Amino acid sequence: MSPARLRKLRYAMVGGGRDGFIGAVHRHAMALDSRFELVAGAFSSTPDKAKASGRDLGLADERNHGSWQDLLADELKRAPEERIDLVSIVTPNHVHYEVAHAFADAGFHVVCDKPLVHTSEQARSLVDTVAQRGTVFGVTYNYSGYPLVRHACEMVRSGALGTLRKVIVEYNQGWLATQLDNKQAAWRTDPARSGIAGAIGDIGSHAEQLAATVTGLEIEAICADLTTFVPGRALDDDGNLLLRFKGGARGVLIASQIEIGCENDLRLRVFGDQGSLAWHQEDPNQLHYAPIAGPRQVLTRASAGLSTAAQQATRLPAGHPEAFIEAFANIYSGVANDIHARLLTGQPAAREQADYPRIEEGARGVRFIEKTVESSRSSTKWTAFG
């Protein structure tokens, strides 16, 4: 059935108030395909700010709450036909666990920003709850929503690269090269809110997930060197890792927020024994493919043989660039497909019809952060990942 003929899914947002950045991105992404409708929210941990933010967004007062606890209590009282289908959690990291746990436990579908939670213990608890409730839980590793990232996945799966040998993944930023005083910088560099990691949690986690998604490789061991360059900062702002994958592939992962001149310079290179791929987030509409024989090719969304997975993730003819919000929207599109499948059939959607990062990926990401920090503190070269 045409997605547009289904009713819009009702959602509430937790976090994402007036001076946030990522909340507005989620709202744009959810709006793009007209499949979601914002009906409730608790947009800040400060009640006044929460309500002012909700009014900005045109929410009715009765569904515009000063705290997520009030929001949850109110939703549970509402009739099914007006109750939210899902909650989108876009708070700073330290709030993720309790909100996600409470809503999932109450039977709501959840989309939560990354990194999922602060500890693997929390992650396990959340995974268990979601499993028990049988609800949808998506994690917005948004970069995996780009059409050519999805095509890269398919190429690897199809064997076009042969046996994988090496992965180089980088997320280079420069905006924290000096001490900043804005809200975005403040919570990301505060252990109480950001967790045990700085750059490696904020963007290294994206790099890890992108590499894992495209390659399907599992990390066997990590050798990390995390550094804090800016005086007075409590968390790492630069991280460099050697990786060993199960099966023998090798990797390098770089995540830094002190590299002046870099904006959101996320790059992935994957080398197999039959070919290689390279992709760059700031130029996301090209995928560079080098087969072992023959010249390098520049694949676009127009390329013959573009995989179904990529085709389903694109809205425009090639050459009309698609970008960040569209990739983000693809994550939500997968979530919507899964929720609608359950509404219509009582069963989850088939995986290929609902391509979004699951809670298990979020949990693996938490483990990645923990093991990276452990390795960085160790004088032993390799810290086992398993």
DSSP-derived 3-state class of residue 293 = coil
Contact (Cβ atoms closer than 8 angstroms) between residue 268 and residue 169: yes
Which residue, 63 or 118, is less far from its own copies as judged by CB? 63
Which residue, 123 or 221, is less far from its own copies as judged by CB? 221
Min dist. Cβ of residue 179 to its own copies (A): 11
Min dist. Cβ of residue 268 to its own copies (A): 13
DSSP letter (8 states) at residue 204:
I
Min dist. Cβ of residue 127 to its own copies (A): 29
Copy the structure tokens of residue 325.
């919000």
Min dist. Cβ of residue 228 to its own copies (A): 11
Which residue, 79 or 260, is less far from its own copies as judged by CB? 260
Min dist. Cβ of residue 121 to its own copies (A): 27
Min dist. Cβ of residue 134 to its own copies (A): 28
Which residue, 169 or 366, is less far from its own copies as judged by CB? 169
Pairing between β-strand 275-280 and β-strand 265-272 as defined by DSSP bridges:
antiparallel
Phi and psi, residue 228, nearest 5°: -110, 110
Neighbours of 201 (CB within 10 A): 28
Copy the structure tokens of residue 299.
């694949």
Rg (CA), the chain: 21
Distances 380 to 153, 374, 383, 384 between C-alpha atoms, Å: 33, 10, 7, 11
Which residue, 320 or 351, is less far from its own copies as judged by CB? 320
Neighbours of 368 (CB within 10 A): 25
Which residue, 24 or 95, is less far from its own copies as judged by CB? 24
